[in-house]
Structure formats: C-alpha cells, structure tokens
Amino acid sequence: MQTDLSRIALRPFRLSDADDVLSFGGDDQVTRVLRGFKTLTTKDEALNFIKNVCSPHPWRRSICIDDRSIGFVTMFPGSGDDRHKADTGYALAARYWGQGITTKAVKTALSQVFKDYPDLQSFVAVENKASQRVLDKVGFQREGVLRKYLYLKGDIKDMVVYSFLSSDLSNDLSSDELITHPSSRDEGRP
Ligand SMILES: CC(C)(COP(=O)(O)OP(=O)(O)OC[C@H]1O[C@@H](n2cnc3c(N)ncnc32)[C@H](O)[C@@H]1OP(=O)(O)O)[C@@H](O)C(=O)NCCC(=O)NCCS
C-alpha cells in the first residue's frame, strides 16, 4: 500500500525509538551498504546507538511515519576549511522502500540544513541504483565516479559522487517549493 507522504516527518532520535531502530538497524538489507554501521542485534545495542551515535551527532534525524522511527537522514559536516559542506546519508526500513519516502525526507532535510551547510555532497556505491535515484530525484548533480575510492564492508568500491550546492538555487532558500523543484536538474534524469 502506498504511504501518504504527509505522514512522513523528521525529528531527533529518542531513547524510546530503540525497538524501531533495532527493526531497521538489525536488517542486513538496510545496513550492508552503510559504511561503519554494524548491524544491530539487541535492544541494548539499539539504545547505545541512539545514545552514543545519534544523540551527540551534529545532524542526524529520524525519518518518522506517524512519529514512529523508520529510518534516518544524516548530514556529516566538514570541519576547518571544509566546514561549508556536509556529506548526506540516509537509510529506510525495507518494508517502506519504493514509495518516495526517502526522497521526501532528504528534500525536507535539505530545506533545514542549507543555511548551515550550503554545499552538500554524497557518495554512493556504483551498484546502489536506488540510492542514486533518490539523489537524482532530490536534485543532486552526478559529478562522476571515484574508482576504488573506499572500503565498504570489506570490499573496495567505486563510488559515484554527487553534489547539491545552494548556489545552484536561484531564489529564496527557505522555500520548500524550490527544494521540491530545484531548477531544471531533474529534467535529465534517467
Ligand atoms: C536507498 C534507499 C534509502 C531508498 O529509499 P526509498 O524510500 O525506497 O527511495 P525512494 O522511494 O524515494 O526512491 C527510490 C527510487 O529508486 C528506484 N530504484 C529502486 N531500486 C532500483 C534499482 N535496482 N535500479 C534502479 N532504480 C531503482 C525506485 O524505483 C525509485 O525511483 P522512482 O521513484 O523513479 O521509481 C533504501 O533503498 C535503503 O535504505 N537502502 C539501504 C541503505 C542505503 O542504500 N542507503 C544509502 C547509502 S548511500
């Protein structure tokens, strides 16, 4: 059944999300492409993940449906001379895939972080077509492929690098409408 996207919202994680976080964070389908994310096996691990990873993080939000956690969007800010930019990451519980939920969540995240992180980038394994499609739909620009760029769960991977620069937007950054329809970038999508 198609989810009504008006039920989707972002908020910080809470300890009470532990069962829901274990549900998607304990699923290898979701975690096998997440760098540095060890698949969760117990509720205690989920609680520790929320306490030690999510809560102190500069910008990690729970993707929620009716306030229940079903995934996350993360902006990893750069530091020093790289502080203008952030790396964008996300994941969603498998039972909700293919309904546009992550695309909506990332668009919402962009509208919230652009003032702090005007230059966003994202790195996606070449074989992760669903994730590339999300970035295409949001309006990220595909920059190219970095060959044998990093280790992901024990394998060295070619990574597609994407960017979304606030300077590419022509009007008021606070407008959700602009984030939803970011210039003409989406026209050339596959
Ligand atoms: C990537 C992920 C977040 C996408 O979430 P989602 O909510 O299903 O994404 P959306 O529904 O917004 O968009 C997915 C798009 O990819 C497309 N897609 C899915 N599988 C695909 C494939 N194998 N090849 C090409 N396109 C594919 C869908 O058809 C959809 O495009 P459409 O709307 O044009 O039909 C989800 O699959 C996930 O959590 N994967 C594991 C974690 C992950 O990969 N995180 C990103 C790491 S870079």
- Domain coordinates of the chain in residue numbers? 5-188
Alpha carbons 157 and 159: distance in angstroms, whole number? 6
Q: Are 60 and 74 in contact (CB under 8 A)?
A: yes
Q: Determine which residue's CA is closest to atom 45 belonging to ligand 1.
A: 91
What spacing in Å lies between the alpha carbon of 133 and ligand 1's midpoint? 6
Alpha carbons 106 and 113: distance in angstroms, whole number? 10
Helices (H), the chain: 18-25, 28-31, 43-49, 101-113, 129-138, 176-180
Q: Determine which residue's CA is closest to atom 16 belonging to ligand 1.
A: 130
> Would you say domain 5-188 falls under CATH 3.40.462.40?
no
What spacing in Å lies between the alpha carbon of 80 and ligand 1's midpoint? 33
Helix (H, G, I), strand (E, B) or coil at 148: strand
Strands (E) in 32-84, as ranges, are 60-65, 68-77
Q: Determine which residue's CA is closest to atom 27 belonging to ligand 1.
A: 130
Cβ neighbours of 135 (radius 10 Å): 24
Alpha carbons 23 and 90: distance in angstroms, whole number? 16
From first to last of its 190 residues, what are the pLDDT tens digits of the chain? Answer: 799 999 999 999 999 999 999 999 999 999 999 999 999 999 999 999 999 999 999 999 999 999 999 999 999 999 998 888 899 999 999 999 999 999 999 999 999 998 888 899 999 999 999 999 999 999 999 999 999 999 999 999 999 999 999 887 755 444 444 444 444 343 333 3
- Cα(first)–Cα(last) distance of the chain, in Å? 25
Partner residues linked to 125 by β-bridges = 159
* Greatest distance between any 2 Cα atoms in the chain: 47
Which residues lie with the beta carbon below 6 Å from any ligand 1 atom? 30, 33-34, 90-92, 97-103, 124, 128-131, 133-134
